[in-house]
Amino acid sequence: MQHFFSTQTLLLTYALIALSTASQLAAAQGIAKETITLQTKTESDTSVAKESDKQSINPGINSNFLDPELDVDQWVARFEVESREVYQSRKEILDQLKLTSGMRIADVGAGTGFYSILFSEAVGDAGWVYAIDLSPKFVPYLSQQFDQRKLNNVTTVMCDQDSICLPPSSVDVAFICDVYHHFEFPGDTMRSIHRALSKDGRVIVIDFERIPGVTREWTINHVRADKATFINEIQDAGFELIAERKIQGFKDNYFLEFSKRRQ
């Protein structure tokens, strides 16, 4: 599914981000506020195809998540379970992210939001979390979860297939966990992340190893390419690999850290 992202919508998005910055200020001043959801697409935007008519690199990979009938509880049971490496290792992953008070982090493809909730505490009242997704069922669920927990430093963002829809230099870290292989327009999405990152910003990519003969069949069929291919694609979008971090709990996944490439 492709959407036209108009200048008006961009302006609206940036205005809303400015509003969230105002809310950040309000939070810092101890003024109560509600979680804000950024609805970045207007009714008319969604019906207009992109002129370029780009081809998805993996058509249908997100059909479950785009389904307006998606059963959120079923996905909570699937994502937030100790047998899932990226859930079981969440504390170790959080330690590796080295988040400090005041940082701004984008949880790209936040899903059911358990990482955004951990990030909210890690960056504190002076920091900010953007929980970004394109699923029409996950996005309202995320807002509801943050409101219930009275988190006053999280903004939920309904993004586009080819952009995370954040303004320039708005975040210090972009976290992409079990999501990169779901990007249908990985070059465009990574370039939108490049723009949204501050000068010294970092990108964390956690994804599945894909090694024929070693990796289980389901993953081979589900994940379109191996780690080396993903690294090349991400570097082509303007990043530089700075480290692969060891996560003790990982057998099937890897953790990569990128910075913006120095000119």
Ligand X SMILES: C[S@@+](CC[C@H](N)C(=O)[O-])C[C@H]1O[C@@H](n2cnc3c(N)ncnc32)[C@H](O)[C@@H]1O
Shortest spacing between CB 81 and ligand X, in angstroms? 10
Dist CA 201 CA 105 (whole Å): 10
86 binds ligand X (CB under 6 A): yes
Burial class (CB in 10 A: 0-12, 13-18, 19+), 197: buried
Instruction: Answer for the pair 32, 71: CB distance below 8 angstroms, yes or no.
Output: no
Out of 36, 99, 105, 134, name the contact with ligand X by CB under 6 A.
134
155 binds ligand X (CB under 6 A): no
108 binds ligand X (CB under 6 A): yes
Region near ligand X per CB under 6 A, out of 5-13, 90-98, 106-114, 229-237? 106-114
170 binds ligand X (CB under 6 A): no
- CB-based contacts of 8, cutoff 8 Å, min separation 6: 42
Nearer to ligand X, 27 or 207 (CB): 207
- Output b/e per residue, 88-116; b: 16+ Cβ within 10 A: ebbeebeebbebeeebbbbbbbbbbbbbb
Residue 217's CB: how many other CB atoms inside 10 A? 7
Out of 99, 109, 119, 131, name the contact with ligand X by CB under 6 A.
109
**In the 8-state DSSP scheme, what is residue 210?**
-
23 binds ligand X (CB under 6 A): no
Nearer to ligand X, 86 or 204 (CB): 86
Shortest spacing between CB 19 and ligand X, in angstroms? 21
177 binds ligand X (CB under 6 A): yes
Chain positions contacting ligand X, by CB under 6 A? 62, 65, 79, 86, 108-111, 132-135, 138, 159, 161, 177-179, 182-183, 189
